[in-house]
């Protein structure tokens, strides 16, 4: 099976799952907040993640953890764009930008970004047009509500059906804006307006949210669902996160967004050896 995501600097083949390393350039992200605010520290971390086997590096200038406050445009641009420009010539890893703001999308595309990872699925005014003008791929993520309030007792009659319908509609909106389907990945948005039970249902039945045969990206790494299942605090969620990533890969995920790249790459190698006889 071939499964390709067309990114700005070339195609990403992801039928065999690949890893996206998380790098938050924020003071308040739930897992690595405050560690990479200095651009030099961020660059070194990005190169380390690539060396550990990340096919993509996801740079974010705004936390989306439950309860997070929005970041002003100037501040997000300042945090992200200089790092993209400096990182571009130093690595062949694809550069993803975690943003919902059209101005950041445009500036990131001009600085050499490959993919826009938007937890609002291009619903902000002007976001569809900004993406359409670029050559970037996009990840469309499902979120119920907004980060400040999304975990206040979310309810679904049918979580799989509702996530799937949302993703179908956002792909349709992309098509109407002139964004080729080959540039689209989809994400059920673990923890974004979902209870533990919703997250487990999505993980169990992941393949059922695949719309139009597009690659599925999942972010489970160190999230509170791993904490709820293991009783561990954020830095101690590595083992649980690797297990979740592996299960997601077995159930259809193509891109795994993780903080612990080396551990996840090792686990995927074991999975690949078992599933395709490759060593």
Rule CB under 6 A: which residues touch ligand HH2? 22, 24, 26, 29-31, 60, 63-65, 98, 117, 119, 139, 141, 187, 189-190, 217, 219, 257
CB of 11 to ligand HH2, least distance (A): 19
CB of 27 to ligand HH2, least distance (A): 10
H helices within the chain, ranges in order?
A: 39-51, 73-87, 102-111, 127-133, 159-176, 196-204, 224-230, 238-250, 261-276
Q: Which of 197, 187, 166, 193 is nearest to 252 (CA)?
A: 187
Asked if 204 is an active-site residue, the reply is: no
In the complex with ligand HH2, which residue's Cβ is closer, 33 or 112? 33
User: Which residue in 45, 223, 232, 237 is the catalytic one?
Assistant: 223
H helices within 52-149, ranges in order?
A: 73-87, 102-111, 127-133
CB of 264 to ligand HH2, least distance (A): 14
Asked if 101 is an active-site residue, the reply is: no
In the complex with ligand HH2, which residue's Cβ is closer, 24 or 134? 24
CA distance 128 to 176: 9
8 Å CB contact between 259 and 221: yes
Nearest residue to ligand HH2, by Cβ distance, number only: 219
DSSP character at residue 70: P
CB of 177 to ligand HH2, least distance (A): 19
8 Å CB contact between 76 and 70: no
In the complex with ligand HH2, which residue's Cβ is closer, 71 or 81? 71
Catalytic residues: 223, 257
């Amino acid at each position: 099976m071939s499964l390709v995501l067309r990114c700005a600097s070339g195609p990403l083949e992801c039928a065999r799952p690949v890893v996206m390393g998380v790098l938050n350039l924020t003071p308040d992200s739930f897992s690595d907040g405050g560690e990479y605010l200095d651009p030099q520290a961020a660059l070194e971390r990005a190169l380390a993640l690539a060396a550990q086997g990340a096919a993509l590096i996801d740079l974010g200038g705004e936390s989306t953890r439950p309860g997070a406050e929005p970041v002003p445009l100037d501040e997000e641009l300042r945090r992200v764009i200089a790092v993209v420009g400096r990182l571009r010539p130093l690595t062949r890893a694809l550069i993803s930008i975690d943003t919902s703001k059209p101005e950041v999308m445009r500036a990131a595309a001009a600085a050499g970004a490959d993919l826009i990872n938007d937890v609002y699925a291009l619903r902000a005014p002007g976001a569809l047009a900004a993406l359409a003008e670029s050559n970037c791929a996009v990840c469309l993520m499902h979120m119920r509500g907004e980060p400040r309030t999304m975990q206040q007792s979310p309810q679904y009659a049918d979580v799989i059906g509702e996530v799937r319908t949302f993703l179908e509609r956002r792909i349709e909106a992309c098509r109407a804006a002139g964004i080729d389907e080959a540039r689209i990945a989809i994400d059920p948005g673990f923890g974004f307006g979902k209870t533990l039970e919703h997250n487990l249902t999505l993980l169990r039945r992941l393949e059922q949210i695949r719309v139009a045969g597009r690659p599925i990206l999942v972010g489970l790494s160190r999230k509170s669902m791993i904490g709820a299942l293991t009783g561990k605090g954020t830095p101690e969620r590595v083992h649980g996160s690797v297990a979740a990533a592996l299960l997601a890969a077995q159930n259809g995920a193509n891109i795994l967004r993780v903080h612990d790249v080396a551990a996840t790459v090792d686990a995927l190698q074991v999975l690949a050896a078992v599933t395709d006889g490759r060593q």
